[in-house]
Structure 1
Amino acid sequence: MVEIRVSKIVLFPIKSLDGISVNAAAVLPSGALEHDREFALYDDADRWINGKSEARLNNIRATYDLANLAVTLTSPASPEARTFDLVGNLAVLEEWFSDTLAKAVHIKRDTHSGFPDDSHAQGPTVISSGTIAEMSSWYALSDLDETRRRFRANVEVSADTAFWEDRLFGKRGDDVGFSLGDVHLYGVGPCKRCVVPVRDSITGQPTPDFEKRFIAKRLETLPDWSTRARFGPLYYRVAVNTRLDMSEGGKHVNVGDQLRLDDKVGVNP
């Protein structure tokens, strides 16, 4: 059997902004990868400002210096690159976002678990290279990185078979055990998608009939090993949400780590 290994690790330090590829990531006790979704934008009503609600975030480019926890930002409204310290006074950064988005923006930080969409599955999202290639073909996207940016998975594994990662979840409540190197995780279920993948990751322009085509093609190409009941009435789900096995915090996931399935089933009420 061909070995399946971690081929990419991507962190998204500021939720809904660009990611950064890394060779290794520490796993926090919560299951989150260190620095992933560590910061989030909020409005005056204490609601997330994210890619679901604010398409203009697609126009913002972000590069990171994780060693010094700094971010460099540009946007059409603020084309001159500016670098901000993420560990000091965030007021200057809040002002930049407020000016760029023309509304009040506040920034929160969570070093324990970040700001995941699924609070019951705070581990890294996992997808296969084969899935990225398959979905790219549905929309004639020759740039595989555009597909990666739209779906924003943390860990990509080297399986060439489309939807190989569907092996990492089973029926609801019975989480599937697997390891990335020496980090043991449980696959919880397929990741439900929102409006974010519909939009071009750079311009924010929507792709016509994106969701409709996705649902039709996902159903058409659903492999035998997928647990069909986990998709609900629609099939707008891809990649796998995970949670950390107990006492695994403090370890690292590395590019090149082997993925191993095991016989452990974690009960998740």
Structure 2
Amino acid sequence: MARLDRLTVYPVKGLDGIELEAAAVREGGTLAHDREFALFDADGEVVNGKRTDRVHDLETDYEPSTATLSVTAPDGDRRRFDLEADREAAAAWFGDFFDADLSLERDASLGFVDRREMGPSVISTATLETVASWFDGTTVDGVRRRLRANVEIGGVDPFWEDRFVGEDAPAFEVGDVRFEGVTPCGRCVVPQRDPDTGEPTDGFRQRFVEKREATFPDWADRDAFDHYYTLMIIARVPERDRGCTLTVGEPVETGRQ
């Protein structure tokens, strides 16, 4: 049976995610705590994995109940910051690490997501397993960390999520929350890197595109995809369902258009 297997949010944009057993849908349509904070330089440009592979050198964790961010640097330096009270201290520490004048900003209503008019990203566990099989020595969790999806669906076929974008695409429901597919997610440079070391995987993009084309589902709307370097979808939660809570283990049902 299709079910919600995993919820992952990324409290500080570009840094590590945390798994949740339950997550509310914010008024902006994204998941609570997802990209709630982001580092910006003096020019207002965000610091993330697209911009620098140094984000892979940091290990981070976040406790939502206390807004506490834990950071471990490559040299073993460990810090804890209360992001309710010590955001300036955290920004200064990250500024030293990235050698830039940084501020740590907060957006609790929407988060600093790339597609601000959309909502959570969605992928199936079977998709992650299939992609992991394309690359020797790559684990499912490694692919999960490369792709950084919010909502992971179990009990379905690989590329299940592809059916929810394109002309006449249906929606799906997780418990009482409706998800409407908006667009496939074209990938950037981040999935090409080892999530632990930041080192690029040789030939990643070429092999990914070849395998993606070879395994593209017959039932998906090919016209909805601009290219084959695309995986997972970005969905929208209707306003009426915002404020509801998603819980791991809830059933997933495909709805009507």
TM interval, shorter chain, is over 0.9
Q: What SS class does the counterpart of residue 17 from structure 1 fall into?
A: coil
Match of 1:197 in 2: 191
* C-alpha deviation, 1:159, in angstroms: 3.2
Q: Given residue 118 of structure 1, which amino acid in structure 2 is its aligned partner?
A: R
* C-alpha deviation, 1:170, in angstroms: 2.1
Match of 1:113 in 2: 110
Q: What SS class does the counterpart of residue 97 from structure 2 fall into?
A: helix
Q: What SS class does the counterpart of residue 170 from structure 1 fall into?
A: coil
* C-alpha deviation, 1:176, in angstroms: 3.4
Match of 1:245 in 2: 238
User: If the length of structure 1 is used for normalisation, what is the TM-score?
Assistant: 0.92
Match of 1:214 in 2: 208
Match of 1:267 in 2: none
Q: What SS class does the counterpart of residue 162 from structure 1 fall into?
A: coil
Listed as ranges, the gaps of 5+ residues in structure 2 are none
Of 226, 232, 238, the residue aligned with 2:220 is 226
Measured in 1, the distance between the counterparts of 2:169 and 2:71 equals: 39
The answer to whether the 8 Å contact 1:29/1:247 transfers is no
Q: Given residue 99 of structure 1, which amino acid in structure 2 is its aligned partner?
A: D
User: What is the aligned-residue RMSD (CA, Å)?
Assistant: 1.3
The number of residue pairs the alignment matches comes to 257
* C-alpha deviation, 1:26, in angstroms: 0.6
Q: Given residue 163 of structure 2, which amino acid in structure 1 is its aligned partner?
A: R
Match of 2:5 in 1: 7
Kindly provide the CA deviation profile for residues 135-168 of structure 1, in whole angstroms up to 9, marking residues without a partner as x. Answer: 0011124421111000000111113521011122
Listed as ranges, the gaps of 5+ residues in structure 1 are 265-269
User: If the length of structure 2 is used for normalisation, what is the TM-score?
Assistant: 0.96
* C-alpha deviation, 1:80, in angstroms: 2.1
Measured in 2, the distance between the counterparts of 1:38 and 1:155 equals: 17
Q: What SS class does the counterpart of residue 71 from structure 1 fall into?
A: strand
Measured in 2, the distance between the counterparts of 1:224 and 1:258 equals: 25
* C-alpha deviation, 1:200, in angstroms: 0.7
The answer to whether the 8 Å contact 2:2/2:156 transfers is no
Measured in 2, the distance between the counterparts of 1:160 and 1:180 equals: 14
Matches within 5 A, 1:119-198: 119-121=116-118, 123-171=119-167, 176-198=170-192
The answer to whether the 8 Å contact 1:128/1:162 transfers is yes
* C-alpha deviation, 1:45, in angstroms: 0.5
Measured in 2, the distance between the counterparts of 1:170 and 1:180 equals: 20
Tell me whether 1:98 sits opposite 2:95 in the alignment. Answer: yes
Q: Given residue 246 of structure 2, which amino acid in structure 1 is its aligned partner?
A: V
Of 40, 46, 49, the residue aligned with 2:47 is 49
Q: What SS class does the counterpart of residue 185 from structure 1 fall into?
A: strand
Percent identical residues: 39
